[in-house]
Amino acid sequence: MKQARKKEDQGKYQPLSYFQLMEVSLRELLVEKGVLSDEQVNAEVAAMRARTPERGARVVARAWVDAAFKERLLRNGTAACEELGLEIPALKLVAVENTPKVHNAIVCTLCSCYPRVLLGLPPDWYKSRNYRSRMVREPRAVLAEFGLRLPKEIQIRIHDSTADMRYIVLPMRPKGTEGWDEARLASIVTRDCMIGVAVPRAG
């Protein structure tokens, strides 16, 4: 048993893939030439991992309780986030609002553009060819696989994030959340709700 665990700890040797090798080479060159230090690289990776969808959920919860904020968010998502102390430099954030007649969802067919500073690292499925190719082609089938079946009267708007904008879906506040404070409201706003493959539920 002891022997087996030790072997497991050693992991499975895998040669670096093409892109891993490129990343290591570039990083080592940048450090070697003094452009960046190892500490800076590690700090940035740590900061990237520390960002979670709770940041985006705060924005949604504020928009639910403050109509004027919601209006500013829809007009200029970047400025609205900065009001909440969320620094999103260089990110042009477009918030798209779900209504009883419209449901929005986000995809990046060309690569995997994602509002990382608000939602953290994207889930693997968001980067998969399956999601990226089918979400623009048969969105209702893809949403159904996520458990979201929408009637035909509701317009589905798929946003292909192809250039300089990044998107966040502003879901509808569900029934049964009357009187909730912002923190409690934020707790039901999941990452998937802000990508548009789910909707928040009160229960």
Partner 1 sequence: MNPQFVTDYPAVEAKFHLGERVRVRQAAPLGHIRTPFYIRGHVGEIERLCGSFPNPEELAQMRDGLPAQPLYRVRFRQKDVWPDYRGSDKDVLEIEIFQHWLERA
Q: By CB under 8 A, is residue 109 in contact with partner 1? A: yes
Q: Which of the residues 37, 111, 128, 133 is marked catalytic? A: 111
- Tokens 């665990």 correspond to 5
Closest CA to 37 of 45, 28, 46: 28
Q: By CB under 8 A, is residue 36 in contact with partner 1? A: no
Nearer to partner 1, 55 or 159 (CB): 159
Member of 53, 56, 120, 139 binding partner 1 (CB under 8 A): 139
Member of 84, 121, 154, 172 binding partner 1 (CB under 8 A): 154
Within residues 57-86, the interface with partner 1 by CB under 8 A covers 75-76, 78
Q: Are strands 155-160 and 92-97 parallel, antiparallel or unpaired?
A: unpaired
Size of the site for partner 1 (CB under 8 A): 27
Long-range contacts of 130-135 (CB under 8 A, 24+ apart): 131/107, 132/107, 132/108, 133/109, 135/105, 135/107, 135/109
Active site residues: 108, 111-113
